[in-house]
Amino acid sequence: MLYQQLADRLQNLIGENIYEVGTRLPGVRQLSLQHEVSVSTAVNACRELEQRGLLEARPRAGYFVRLPPAQRAAPRLGKTGATPRAVTGQQRVLRLLQAVNDPDIVNLGAAVPDADFLPVAVMERAFHHVLRTQRRRCMGYEFPPGAPELRAQIARRLAGHQCQVTQDEVLVTNSCQEAMHIALQLLTKPGDTVAVESPTYYGLLQVIESLGLKALEIPTDPVAGISLDALDLALERWPVAALILVSNFSNPLGVCMTDERKQALMHCLNKHKVPLVEDDIYGDLPFNGRRPSPIKRWDTEGLVYYCSSSSKTLSAGMRVGWLVPGAQFEKARHLQFINTLSVNTPSQLALAHFLQHGHFERSLRNSAMEYAKAVARMNARVAQLFPRETRVSRPAGGFVLWLELPGAQDTLSLMETALDAGVSFAPGEMFSAAGKYNNCLRLNCAVRWDARLERALITLAKLV
């Protein structure tokens, strides 16, 4: 059939990166002219590619190239049967993070995007602008709850995601890490248990360790997200002070729960009256252009403590994040004050300026598209270089990949060898309080793709 021949031809062009992941395919009229076929043949070819999982139709926008279908199976669901555990040994995270600032090491470890992925020039102009126009204010403290114009912009964005939040409920923090820290300070006392996804972001485990809490790992499916049945059982069985999770394009699995599952999760938490600390730091980075809802959207009982920041979208160095702590706002504000007095004033004002002038949406689209390409490239190279039985996550946003290696691998000791060889990755065990996932590792894909990176990947694959 003619349309299948055209579909094959277009598939080859996608494979050769002539049409890159995240970009729009020429319209069907243009395709029909370019390939000398009728418009209906072009339409059928696009539909065929949609079925093959290579294109995605977006209403009124056309067809977009999506990540190729899985080349590798997804990682397996972690084992169940956990009990609450004290968290220890998170100091080794610092060793990994320090590698980011070492110019001799290719950073596939820390989830810090290379500046190539960020709107550096526009941010630079925003900083210049506020330093010029609000010089005196920039020299002083912007005491908690933070700059009103920034809080107004954050509330507007949340309202756009259907969360009922006003400016008066937004507390500016020293990025997402402090937001989560304050939220858990509000909700727990030493010795309490906090439920987490398994695997979970190691930064959450660090906060849990520093507050003398215990972590209860809940099995998390690499595609569907946290197991609601296991969570329900765990909340029946253990006195859990809070659940903390990354709701959209999680770290490390890249999971984005469906709206139905988010509502079911909220239902479960309402039933047990357990608060949720929602970390939505990757939510603005979907590969398909559709921003998923925060779980906060369905919070009718004031149980969700919403945390996020601009670290993955604009700049991790800016250190600006936010917390919506509901009824505990005044206490949270006081904790922010005694923790660090205030948040960097020029950063707050520059971010507010950036948001007020509508730069954010454009820059998000661009960053998310670049992240999609980077993840696709990394996925393809992993499929070529790593052992055949390696399982790889399929994130639909963000920029990290989670790999489950075949056989009995010890990625924690592998990390030391890899660092000596000039490449970092995050070993799986860092993502568990119970010492699981030592056969897994996480790769940061938001890195500059050049010959040095290629060499680093080959080195890593050989070590594996």
With b meaning 16 or more CB within 10 Å and e meaning fewer, what string describes 156-183?
ebbeebebebebebbbbbbbbbbbbbbb
| Separation CA 95–CA 97 (nearest Å) | 6
| Separation CA 311–CA 292 (nearest Å) | 18
Does residue 298 bind ligand PLP (CB under 6 A)? no
Q: Which is nearer to ligand PLP, 105 or 176 (CB)?
A: 176
In the complex, what is the shortest distance from the CB of residue 282 to ligand PLP, in angstroms, rounded to a whole number? Answer: 7
Choose the stretch contacting ligand PLP; rule: CB under 6 A; options: 98-106, 150-158, 309-317, 389-397.
309-317
Q: Which is nearer to ligand PLP, 127 or 201 (CB)?
A: 201
In the complex, what is the shortest distance from the CB of residue 397 to ligand PLP, in angstroms, rounded to a whole number? Answer: 12
In the complex, what is the shortest distance from the CB of residue 332 to ligand PLP, in angstroms, rounded to a whole number? Answer: 16
In the complex, what is the shortest distance from the CB of residue 178 to ligand PLP, in angstroms, rounded to a whole number? Answer: 7
Does residue 311 bind ligand PLP (CB under 6 A)? yes
In the range 237-266, which residues lie near ligand PLP by CB under 6 A? 246, 251
In the range 158-197, which residues lie near ligand PLP by CB under 6 A? 175-177
Q: Which is nearer to ligand PLP, 6 or 211 (CB)?
A: 211
In the complex, what is the shortest distance from the CB of residue 110 to ligand PLP, in angstroms, rounded to a whole number? Answer: 7
| Separation CA 196–CA 218 (nearest Å) | 6
| Separation CA 169–CA 146 (nearest Å) | 11
In the range 60-119, which residues lie near ligand PLP by CB under 6 A? 111
Q: Which is nearer to ligand PLP, 197 or 232 (CB)?
A: 197
Q: Which is nearer to ligand PLP, 245 or 453 (CB)?
A: 245
Show the site string, 201-240: x = touches ligand PLP by CB under 6 A, - = not: x-x-------------------------------------
Figure out which of the listed residues 114, 192, 232, 279 binds ligand PLP, where binding follows CB under 6 A. Answer: 279
Q: Which is nearer to ligand PLP, 176 or 343 (CB)?
A: 176
Choose the stretch contacting ligand PLP; rule: CB under 6 A; options: 17-25, 32-40, 308-316, 385-393.
308-316
In the complex, what is the shortest distance from the CB of residue 458 to ligand PLP, in angstroms, rounded to a whole number? Answer: 26
Decide: 343 and 351 in contact? Cβ < 8 Å.
no
Count residues binding ligand PLP (CB under 6 A): 14
Figure out which of the listed residues 11, 153, 248, 309 binds ligand PLP, where binding follows CB under 6 A. Answer: 309
> Would you tell me which residues interact with ligand PLP (CB under 6 A)?
111, 175-177, 201, 203, 246, 251, 279, 281, 309, 311, 316, 321
